[in-house]
Structure 1
Amino acid sequence: MELTTTTLLVTFAGVFLICFMKGAFGGGFAIIGIPLLSLVMDPITAGGLLAPLFIAMDLFSLRYWKPSTWSKPDLNLLVPGLVAGIGVGYLLFRSLDHRAIAIVMAVITLIFVGIWFKAGGEVRVRPRSSPKAVAAGFTSGITTMVAHSGGPPLAMYLLPLGLSKQVYAGTTSMFFTVGNLLKAAPWLLLARPTGNVLSLMVICLLAIPCGVWLGWRLHARLNQRQMYRACYGLLVVTALKLLWDGVFGYIA
């Protein structure tokens, strides 16, 4: 990969956007910034580039999403499934049909958002469910490993709990901090960054402090209702991106 001005600017913008989402919503919407990276590099290279950057983003985000913003009971249920899902995703990475996974995840996400929209755009608070939490963590582990799109399964579990906006974002942030730490080594085995990719990675580190901080500033300005509506809106964007990737993958 040539380190051209276009490659540098586009990649930096993509990483900045991911950092912004991390600061505003705690993570889970990395796929929003990945289309920019796909303009200048293949998906495997992008995965190898992002794996260490995700960890740097997560560590910096802990400055804002402190332990007081984590829903520990939910994390205790979600994380074991996440660990198992990442393991399964890595073992089956080469054999899984990424296109089919993207389409199925997109359809499920759109149905989930459709139900919310039909209910008038209000969150109907539901009790915590251990089986649902484990299933959400497991599914998120697989999709974050194969497509950097672990956000929808987690959101579909957390949003109906009616958590405060800070606890929702903090729990999401901590969940993906664990996930990104776990999937870094597998991704670096699949795509070992060398040469220009390493240089690009170092340059993109500069996007993290400003991106996360600006995202956090947006989070502080949003009230509870606006925060949840933004999350549901981002789920639609994520689902459409997944649907595009899946369908276009079969056509191309």
Structure 2
Amino acid sequence: MELNATTILVTFAGVFLICFMKGAFGGGFAIVGIPLLSLVMDPVTAGGLLAPLFVVMDLFGLRYWKPSTWSRPDLILLVPGLVVGIGIGYLLFRVLDHRAIAIVMAAVTLVFVGLWFLRGGEVAVRPRSSPKAVAAGMTSGITTMVAHSGGPPLAMYLLPLGLGKQVYAGTTSLFFTVGNLIKAAPWLALARPAGAVWALMAICLLAIPTGVSLGWRLHARLDQRQMYTACYALLVVTALKLLWDGVSGYLH
């Protein structure tokens, strides 16, 4: 990867967008900013670049998503599955068909959003389920390790619980803080960043405070319904990105 003005500006914009999404929604939608990075680097290099930056973003975000915004009963069920999923994703990273995983995840996500749309945009509140939580955590762990797309499985578990907007975002934030701390070392081992990537990483650190802070301001302005509607809309964007990645991978 050549470190030039275009690479720096495009990568900085992508990282800023990811930070903004973390500030506004707590995490899970990093894939929205990844298309920008794909313009100037390959996916593995992007993964190695983002892994440490995710940790810094998440730790900075905890100044907004305090313990009072965490749903502890859900995190107790979700996090063990997340840890196992990241381990599975790391072990199978080089043999898993990333394209097939992307297509399946996209299809499931679109069905989930489609059912919400058919209900008129209303959230059908459902009780907490231990098996669903563990499955969501594990699936999220695998997909976040393989494609930085752990958001949809987690959202499909949390959104139907009808949590308050701050609790939803705070729970999501802590979940991915744990996940990103765990997967940082495996990703660095897989990607082995070179000097240019470390330099670019240092530059992108400057995007974190402003990006997260501006995202938080948006979150504060959204009411409960707007927050949930935005999350479902972002799930569609995420699903379409995954679908494109999967299908185009088979066509090339």
User: How many angstroms apart in 1 are the aligned matches of 2:150 and 2:211?
Assistant: 20
Seq. identity, %: 85
SS at match of 1:179: helix
Question: In structure 2, what is the equivalent of residue 198 of structure 1?
Answer: 198
| Deviation digits for residues 95-146 of structure 1 (CA, Å, limit 9, x no counterpart) | 0000000000000000000000000000010000000000000000000000
> How far apart, CA to CA, are the structure 1 residues paired with 2:95 and 2:190?
14
Deviations 1:132-180 (A, max 9, x none): 0000000000000000000000000000000000000000000000000
Query: Taking structure 2 as the reference length, what is the TM-score of the superposition?
Result: 1.00
Match of residue 69 from structure 2: 69
1:1-252 mapped onto 2 (5 Å cutoff):
1-252=1-252
- Note the C-alpha offset of 1:61: 0.2
* Unaligned 5+ runs, structure 1: none
CA distance in 1, matches of 2:30, 2:131: 26
CA distance, structure 1, for counterparts of residue 55 and residue 236 of structure 2: 26
Q: 1:193 offset after TM fit, Å?
A: 1.5
Distance 2:48 2:100 in 1: 22
1:40-97 Cα offsets, whole Å, 9 max, x none, are 0000000000000000000100000000000000000000000000000000000000
SS at match of 2:63: coil
Distance in 2 between the 1:2 and 1:141 partners?
31
Q: CA deviation at 1:36?
A: 0.2
Following the alignment from structure 2 to structure 1, what is the Cα–Cα distance between the partners of residues 204 and 210? 11
- What code does the residue aligned with 1:35 have? P
- CA shift for structure 1 position 16: 0.1
Please tell me the residue identity of whatever aligns with 2:249. Answer: G
Secondary structure at the counterpart of residue 123 of structure 1: coil
Q: Residue 64 of structure 1: SS of its match in structure 2?
A: coil
Displacement of 1:182 after TM fit?
A: 0.5
Extract unaligned runs of 5+ from structure 2: none
1: distance between equivalents of 2:194 and 2:83? 28
Distance across 2 between alignment mates of 1:150 and 1:195: 28
Q: Distance in 2 between matches of 1:193 and 1:70?
A: 34
Distance 1:58 1:152 in 2: 18
Give 1:192 shift.
Answer: 1.5
**Runs of 4+ residues deviating >2 angstroms:** none
Q: For residue 195 of structure 1, report the CA deviation from its aligned partner.
A: 1.0
Tell me the distance in 2 between the aligned counterparts of 1:111 and 1:71.
26
| Partner amino acid, structure 2, of 1:198 | W
